[in-house]
Structure 1
Amino acid sequence: MPSEDGCPKCGHGEADVDTISTTGGGLSKMFDIQNRKFEVVSCASCGYSELYRADRSAASDVVDVFFG
Structure 2
Amino acid sequence: MSEKGCIKCGSRETGTKDVAMTGTGLSKMLDIQHNKFTVVFCKKCGYSEFYNKKSSTASNIIDLFLGG
1:1-68 counterparts in 2 under 5 A?
5-56=4-55, 58-68=57-67
TM (normalized to structure 2)? Answer: 0.87
Q: How many residues align?
A: 66
- The runs of at least 4 aligned residues of structure 1 exceeding 2 Å deviation read none
Taking the aligned partners of 1:19 and 1:46, their CA distance within structure 2 comes to: 19
- Which structure 2 residue ranges, 5 or more long, are not aligned? none
SS of the aligned residue for 1:6 comes to: coil
CA RMSD, aligned part only?
1.5
TM (normalized to structure 1)? Answer: 0.87
Taking the aligned partners of 1:4 and 1:57, their CA distance within structure 2 comes to: 23
Q: For structure 1, which segment, 25-34 or 48-57, has the greater mean C-alpha deviation from structure 2 after superposition?
A: 48-57
